Amino acid sequence: PMFNKKWTHSKWSSGYREDIGHSCRSSWEANYCRILKYLGISYEFESESFDIGNNEYYTPDIKINDSLYIEVKGYLYEKGKRKLKLFLKKYPQKGLILVDEELYNILSRFYFKLIEEYWEPDGIVKRRN
């Protein structure tokens, strides 16, 4: 697991979420995990890293099973794009779903009302007691 610190109020909100039982680096990652939990889909968060060459590693956000991974990215910087390309090239047997801003917004509009109690609006995170 990552770090178990208290939730903060910032756009890049890292920390432990009691409702999902682990830390996330952002509210988008946490909300996506909430969707999976709501749907009853088992997953592991940042549980596996892959050697992509040149002494670099790629760690997908979410592992669904041994052949399906999910990456939650609001904005994909050049370094992130490069790592994704290297991962897909080196591990063609692995499936990767990229949850970008467009897909996240679609999911958010649908699932927000279903799991509103825990949903984290962008940039606002409920503080742990």
Structure tokens belonging to residue 11: 């756009």
How far the first Cα of the chain sits from its last, in Å, is 21
At 121 the pLDDT is 85
At 19 the pLDDT is 94
* pLDDT tens digits, one per residue of 103-122: 999 999 999 999 999 999 87
Mean pLDDT lowest among 2-6, 43-47, 107-111: 2-6
Q: Which residue has the tokens 């994909």?
A: 76
Q: For residue 10, is pLDDT > 50?
A: no
Question: Can you state the angle between helices 101-111 and 27-39, rounded to 10 degrees?
Answer: 50
Cα–Cα separations (whole angstroms), residue 84 to 12, 18, 27, 62 = 21, 30, 21, 14
Q: For residue 95, is pLDDT > 70?
A: yes
pTM: 0.84
pLDDT confidence bin for 100, thresholds 50/70/90: very high
